[in-house]
Structure 1
């Protein structure tokens, strides 16, 4: 252990200070540290702490010859089978693969469309709760400017054009039909990309349908819902943390 003594040159003699520090250190007990011994065995120790209970299996020379004989007997059968399997196969290119994948994709889309139409038109309707717009759909819609009333709402709440909002359709709005029928028609419109940036959710416990869309298309979507779904009364537009901000 090293001891550092700090002193001032004008405060006494250095020798006296050193003697005083040594006398002060005599009160502390001194002990010799034991030699470090690792708990794990060293590399030169041959007696490992963990040994397998049984020794490794040993394959005799006779067993090796028997295995080689079985492999030699099975080689002609494998070669003959492989020749029969690969005989008559033609070469293929990446163009054939792309054509096969595109054909398979078209067939799967047609089958999915037919199955969806059968489910909607039949008596057994699929009681799904979500409907989302198809990915990659091109929307050729001309964005109409906001009405003066809706423009004031956007400016008052400071809404962004890509902020999400939701139209709330309640059961009293479905006078000409029931809520399930309106939900079916809405799913078809969403699937056909008639509603831009929209996904819908039916809340059967609340007897409501929520149609989510961007603020940019919210007024267009609201007029579309009123016209195509034959809704009566007013539908409400709500925004997260703001509540209902507009009625149509």
Structure 2
């Protein structure tokens, strides 16, 4: 192997230049890496991290049971996504506009074997549906009315925005001798006809109340519609979560 060494005229010490060139062409030294030592005891029988409890043991019977539960049902086809309103008769397209919830519910009658030993309370079939949600309406702007000064003062004091959700509560005491279930049916019809903007409602049969949620911006309009269409009496309290009752109308 020939090496041509170039040096500057002022470098008179050729011996030093030669030593520098020889050192440059020497093979690069290979350093022997030390043996890897883990930072924890390398013992598979004594791992540093162990689960606190032993894994559960599933029997063969439970395995077969899980297989049956995970098997595709005959009611579900195609995508695993499903429509939660599929089994609700009032959401079916063949239901007429304004058909009441009772008419929809009576489309299915339990057999005698199902009714055996389970008489309906008060001789009347219990309504299962408990939620009703309004659809967005393009005419909401026409329904915005200025809030009363009392409600505006309450919002300013509590620093609440007009789009906070609030709740009206209908109790038996304001139903004007009407049944709470009948009020619920009429309310569903109002919501389906989109007369209550930004509203969704639920009936709490365990406490005998109907809750109507809406934006504060429309709360007074909603209250007036409820009073007019449902013939409600007395005042109702407007409640906002974490703030309690902020207004009565």
Per the alignment, do residues 35 and 163 of structure 1 end up closer, same or farther by CA in structure 2, a change over 3 Å counting? closer
Assess if the C-alpha contact under 8 Å between 1:199 and 1:213 holds in 2. Answer: yes
Assess if the C-alpha contact under 8 Å between 2:101 and 2:185 holds in 1. Answer: no
**1:111 equivalenced with 2:93 (yes/no):** yes
Assess if the C-alpha contact under 8 Å between 1:164 and 1:213 holds in 2. Answer: yes
Per the alignment, do residues 215 and 34 of structure 1 end up closer, same or farther by CA in structure 2, a change over 3 Å counting? closer
Match of 1:215 in 2: 216
CA distance in 1, matches of 2:214, 2:150: 19
CA distance in 2, matches of 1:211, 1:118: 19
Q: What CA deviation, in whole Å up to 9, does each residue of 1:80-102 have, x standing for no partner?
A: xxxxxxxxxxxxxxxxxxxxxxx
Structure 1 residue 112, shift from structure 2 partner: 4.0
Per the alignment, do residues 242 and 198 of structure 1 end up closer, same or farther by CA in structure 2, a change over 3 Å counting? same
Per the alignment, do residues 181 and 118 of structure 1 end up closer, same or farther by CA in structure 2, a change over 3 Å counting? closer
TM-score by length of 1: 0.52
Match of 1:226 in 2: 227
CA distance in 1, matches of 2:105, 2:34: 88
Match of 2:87 in 1: none
- The 5 A counterparts of 1:137-148 are 137-140=137-140, 141-148=142-149
TM-score by length of 2: 0.52
**1:196 equivalenced with 2:197 (yes/no):** yes
Match of 2:242 in 1: 241
SS state at 2:182 partner: helix
Structure 1 residue 156, shift from structure 2 partner: 1.6
Greater shift, 110-119 or 141-150, is seen at 110-119
SS state at 2:95 partner: helix
SS state at 2:161 partner: coil
Greater shift, 148-157 or 181-190, is seen at 148-157
SS state at 1:181 partner: helix
Between Structure 1 and Structure 2, the one with more helix by share is: 1
Match of 1:149 in 2: 150
Assess if the C-alpha contact under 8 Å between 2:169 and 2:210 holds in 1. Answer: yes
Per the alignment, do residues 143 and 137 of structure 1 end up closer, same or farther by CA in structure 2, a change over 3 Å counting? closer
Consecutive unaligned residues of structure 2, counting only runs of 5 or more, are 1-32, 37-90, 107-125
Per the alignment, do residues 34 and 152 of structure 1 end up closer, same or farther by CA in structure 2, a change over 3 Å counting? closer
**1:177 equivalenced with 2:178 (yes/no):** yes
Aligned residues: 145
Structure 1 residue 222, shift from structure 2 partner: 1.0
Assess if the C-alpha contact under 8 Å between 1:161 and 1:215 holds in 2. Answer: yes
Structure 1 residue 138, shift from structure 2 partner: 2.3
Alignment RMSD, CA only?
2.9
Assess if the C-alpha contact under 8 Å between 1:139 and 1:193 holds in 2. Answer: no
Per the alignment, do residues 209 and 110 of structure 1 end up closer, same or farther by CA in structure 2, a change over 3 Å counting? closer
CA distance in 2, matches of 1:231, 1:247: 14
Structure 1 residue 116, shift from structure 2 partner: 7.4
